[in-house]
Amino acid sequence: MNQTQSSTPAIPRRTVLATGAAGTTLGVLAAGPAEAGRGKKGGGGGPRATHPVFQHGVASGDPLPDAVVLWTRVTPTPEATPGSGRGGRVTVRWEVATDRRFRRVVTKGRFVTSSSRDHTVKLDARGLRPERWYFYRFHALGQTSRVGRTRTAPAPDATPENLRIGFTSCSNWPAGLFAAYRGLAERDDLHAVVHLGDYLYESGSANVRAHEPAHEIVTLADYRVRHGQYKTDPDLQAAHAHAPWIVTWDDHEVTNDSYATGAENHDPETEGSYAKRRARAHRAYDEWMPARLDGTARLGDGTRLYRRLRFGTLAELSMLDLRTYRDQQVADPGYDTGVDDPERTITGEPQMEWLLTGLRQERAQWKVVGTSVMFSPLKVAALPRDVTDAVNTLAPLIPQDGVYANPDQWDGYTADRRTVVDHLTANGVQDTVFITGDIHSAWAIDVPTDVGAYPLTPTAGVEFVCTSVTSNNLKDQLGTPARSPINQAAEQAILAANPHIKYLNFDDHGFCVLDLDAQRAQCDWFVIGSRTDPDTPITWTRSFATDSGAGSVREVDAPVG
C-alpha cells in the first residue's frame, strides 16, 4: 500500500431529444494559488518547489460512516504536466482535522505517487466518526494545498433528520463556463454532490474555450490531459473542495453512445481497439476522480464503478454504470421491437441482480438510484400493455411500451426496465427515486407500471432529471432565445403525449438539489444565465416533491433551505 495511517486515534446527447421530436463559501475553502504556493509549517521535506505544486485542486468522495476518499494531484516539476509521463516519485503528506486551522488533526499519513499514475493521489482516510464535517489538506515539495471540506455518512442504524445532495451532469468545456459548479460551491447545506456522467467530453471541439488536446482523445495521455484541463476550472475546483462527490460515468468519458464492445463514435480502422481505448479512459478516470472503483481507493483495473452508499436508515444511493455492460443500441428508432428483446441488457446480469437486491423496502426508507440515462418511458405513442400484446399476436409491430424516442436510454432496453418495475411492484417497494442526467433538460416524472394505461395503473416511483452544466440544450441547438414559443411548443407536445411527465424544461443550464426527510423527497431546479458570463446569476426556477408512500410528484412553491 502507498498509504500509511498515523497512530493518532480519531476523535470520536448530446443533442437534446426534442431536436429530433419537435449559502456562503467558507473563506478557507476559497484559497487560491497564492495560498497554495506558500510553504506552511509541515509543508514536506526535500527541495522546495518554486512553481505551483497543487494546480488541480483537491477533492473527496464516496463517504462512508468511518471513511472518505481524498484526492489531489501534484506537479513535481513544471514539465510534469498531466499525461506527459515526466517527473519522478513524490511523497505527499496528508492530514484530516475537525477544524479548518488543523489544530485537532484526527488522522494523517503519507502517499507516494509518480508518473505511473499521472502523479495523482487517491486514498481512503479511515478512522473517522459518522456524520461529521472534516477538513483535509496535502503537503509536498514545501507547499500546502488548498483546504478541502468533507463529510462522513451517518452510521448504518442512525436516523438523520435529512439528506441534502446537489446533482448535475454534462459539463462540456468548450460549450461554456462552469457557473453551475459555482452555485454548488456557494451552498453550505449540501451533504454531498452527485455527478451523473459526462463529467468531461472526448471531442476536440472549440467554442467558448478550447479543449486540450485539440483533437478527439484516444490515448491514455490524451485522457489524462483532458482530465487535468477540466480540473483547472476554478468553479469546479471550488465545488470539489466544498463537499464530497459521488460520481458515475456516462458515454463521453470514453466516447459518444458507447456500449460494451464499441461506440457510435469509435472507428477501429483509425482509432484501434475499442477495448483498449475504453481501458485507457477508465484508467484515467480511476486516477483523476475521487471514487472507489472496484471497491477501493487504490488503483485497480478501473472498471467496477457501480456501488451503493448508505445514509443511515433514511436513504441508500445506488449508483449505476450503464455503459460498460450494455448491448449495442438498436439500429432503427421508432417501431423496432428489438428494444423488447429480453436477451438485450443495459445493466448486465450481475449489476441487475445487485440493483434488485438494493431495491428492497427494508434496507432504507428512500431508495435513490443514480442513473446516467433516463429510466422512465418517453414515447411518441403508447398503448396499454394488453392492447399491445393483442396487436403483436398478428406480427411484432409495436414495442411493449410504445414507440420510443431514444434507444440510448432505458427505452432501448425495455426488458431490463420491466424487470426493475416489476420487482418494485411485486415486493411492495415504496419511496424509490431515480435521479438522472444525460439529456440536457429538466424533468419531473411519475414512473408508470404501464405507461399506456397511466394514470389508471400504479406507479413504481418517481424520477427527477437535471439539466446540463453547459452542454447544448434545445435553445442552443436551434439558436432561439430561452423560453421562445417554439421551444415551449415542443415541451407541451411531449407533455401531452406523456401524461406521466409533469415538468419539462428544454432551455436552461444549472443543477438540482434533492432533499430527503421522513415525510417527502423534494427536488429543486436552479439555473444559470449566460454560459459565457463568469458572474452569471443563479436562480431557482421550479420544485417538485413526492410524499412518502405516494409514488407520484407534486409541484411545491419554494425551494428547500
Q: Which residue has the higher pLDDT, 398 or 216?
A: 216
Least Cα distance to 62 among 276, 281, 245 occurs for 245
Element (H, E) at 238: helix 234-242
pLDDT tens-place string over residues 130-167: 999 999 999 999 999 999 999 999 999 999 999 999 99
Task: Answer yes or no: is 61 within a domain.
Answer: yes
pLDDT tens-place string over residues 96-122: 999 999 999 999 999 999 999 999 999
Task: Answer yes or no: is 497 within a domain.
Answer: yes
Amino acid 400: pLDDT: 58
For residue 405, give the C-alpha cell: 424516442
Query: Would you say residue 36 has pLDDT above 70?
Result: no
pLDDT band at 5 (very low <50, low <70, confident <90, very high): very low
CB atoms within 10 A of CB 421: 24
Task: Answer yes or no: is 329 within a domain.
Answer: yes
Task: Answer yes or no: is 285 within a domain.
Answer: yes
Amino acid 491: pLDDT: 87
Residue numbers of the domain that contains 192? 4-556
CB atoms within 10 A of CB 269: 5
Task: Answer yes or no: is 561 within a domain.
Answer: no
Task: Answer yes or no: is 29 within a domain.
Answer: yes
In the chain, the number of structural domains is 1
Written as one string, the DSSP assignment of 150-217 is EEPPPPTT---S-EEEEEEB---GGG---HHHHHHHT-S--SEEEE-S-SS-----BSSSB-SSSS--
Amino acid 401: pLDDT: 58
Task: Answer yes or no: is 88 within a domain.
Answer: yes
pLDDT band at 198 (very low <50, low <70, confident <90, very high): very high
Whichever domain contains 453, its CATH number is: 3.60.21.70
pLDDT tens-place string over residues 207-263: 999 999 999 999 999 999 999 999 999 999 999 999 999 999 999 999 999 999 999
Least Cα distance to 524 among 480, 557, 499, 478 occurs for 557
CB atoms within 10 A of CB 32: 11
Amino acid 38: pLDDT: 38
Query: Would you say residue 397 has pLDDT above 70?
Result: no
Query: Would you say residue 347 has pLDDT above 80?
Result: yes
Mean pLDDT of the chain: 89
Quote helix, strand, coil % in the chain, to nearest 5: 20, 25, 50
Amino acid 561: pLDDT: 79
Kindly report which listed range (5-9, 186-190, 525-529, 551-555) carries the lowest average pLDDT score: 5-9
Q: Which residue has the higher pLDDT, 13 or 315?
A: 315
